Structure 1
Amino acid sequence: MQCFMALIRGLGGLCPCPKCLVSNNELSDLTNSFPLRNVQETHLLMEKVYASRTATEKDGLTKEFGLRPVPNVFFDVNFMDPYMACSFDELHFDSGGLWSDHLFAQFKRHLDEMPGQVARSAAVKIDSRFSHMPPWSTLNHFKSVTNTSFNDGSKHRDISKTFLYAAHDVFQSNAARQLLKCLRAYLNMTMYGSLDLQTETTIAEGRKAVLKFSEMISIYEPMSSRSENPEVAKKSWNFIKMHYHVHQFDDIFEKGVSRVFGTKINEKMHGPLWKIYHERTNFKNVADQIIRIQQQFMVSVTIRSAINDLDDYMEGLDDVNSDQEDIIEESFYLGAKQKEIAFLDLENLYKSDPSFSRFRIHVGEFLTRYLSAQRSLLSD
């Protein structure tokens, strides 16, 4: 998706990163930085492309930068930088990418290179330790992992957290042990990257963790290339999800903690789509079916919500009417509880109290001053 937003050629291009101009043969080295893609520079380049007459000329101008010779609609949006908008996504780049497709897959290949009975014993030991792992809040529990395929990024992340404990003494080759060191560096890197509170110190430590992981991989790669298992030996770490860690902590520094721009927080939204696919489609041309069924769900939810609002409103009216009926049925009297009494009688009643001496005269003076003041305010 990021390749589409940046309109680059993707993994097949000479510069496959949507954020910088790294060469396609330097993706595994996380110690180097490369010039960032720039909207203004791309604008100037595309003007030359538009002026070119042949497709060959256009392709020649953009191929070096890994761009496609077509206009990017995001450039027409004010203050929009699609290169900066592209962000590191821990769920799909780490848990569902670097770990699941590369580190975890490579550990399985190292298991396969071990002699038959030894490999089975090693797999049983790993699975047994996963099965006996004590329950922990928010941590998925697995009975086995070595012979199971997962496609859930969150579950893959929990596997990576536990795998180092489960396999720390299982592998025999130096290359596999070095890969365990790579995993430890990977876990430190992801730990710093997924913090919900970042400071200058944690970001600096995160950058160090990225360099440490790159160092461990650079040590492992030549060791694995000497493996007798061709699947282990031919493994390349020159892929975009490896390189993207160069930009991970830059994104955090510029945009905030990773949960702000990652997709993990929205992963649960896939559940309804998964249920529609499995329970309401015939597994053919599913896109149209899913869209139609999802629209039906949204319409039904909207109607149900409107009915609930109407019920709440009518219930409120019933409560108001009930209160009014209660008020009408009750008896009200406006006035003081004491009976009327003349000023003269009041003075005689409290003649022993000096406060009531000349009470009628004091009340008259007060009313005169008060009414005069009110008359002045009204005339102003």
Structure 2
Amino acid sequence: MPRWHGLNHFDEALSVSYTDGQKFEDLSKVVVFACHDTLLPAEKEGYLLLRSFELHTTHMLAAGQEALATFNTLMQKFSEKTENTKKNWNFPKNHMRAHAFDDIEAKGVTRNFSTKPNEKMHGPLKEKYQRHTNFKNVADQILDIDHLELVLEFIHCRITNYDTYISNEEIIGDDDTEQEDFFHVKLGSKTKHPLTLEAVEQRSITDKAFIRFRAKLNEFLNRYFTVVGKPLPGGKPVWFPPNAEITEYKYIKVNFKSVVDWCQYTDHLWCNPNFHGCSRYDCVLIKTQQQDIFG
């Protein structure tokens, strides 16, 4: 099962006591990995899982509509064969799927008309009602309080941004030296003892990715300086001897801008043989000059 940051992890699903909609959503993400080897490409029912996605394409919607039609046909046959049970299948949760993909086309992805976001507002609404109203005609009073909170938050953000700007000015000063900007990447989980490049190659001798690792590292760094248009260190090509030592990091935190909604998100990536008792090797998508690399 994936161990993504911020994802509820389940040892089992059927006997779990669910307390909120977030656990249902996380379970729907995990179940895809649990059943990916049972849903064959020819079995269109698996496409019903698409309706919970946060981004849809025309192809995905068409596949979902096709899966829904197949499901409705099978559901009709099942209800006919179980007429003796007198089960009435005409109830809201069973009917809402009939319009699921039409609603997505009309209103956007399901998160836009989900009731789950309002669950997080129960606490603040209750607090405003109890502390800031006279318990009569409370709607207008709560809206006024929301407006004041928004104004306060706006002022606070402006002050924070100004303080950040001033502090950066003091740090930079009049220094015009060009600096590399790595603010969106942070390394962690540093190993205690450095390793030589030769030891790294010997340790991973069965891994094709580490064949000629030292030579490929030298080639990459030399090519990097050429691509970015910067002079080589000391004016000479980079060349690491076999006994050159490196320090390994098993964790990286990356802040990035999503191409879906243009907001900033954070990824926590691990490459650790013993992460809470289990091995964890996350995958990354790297954009290079020639092509995108998935590994």
Normalised TM-score (structure 1): 0.30
More helix per residue: 1
More strand per residue: 2
Normalised TM-score (structure 2): 0.37
- Structure having greater relative contact order (Cα 8 Å, sep ≥ 6): 1
- Structure of greater Rg: 1
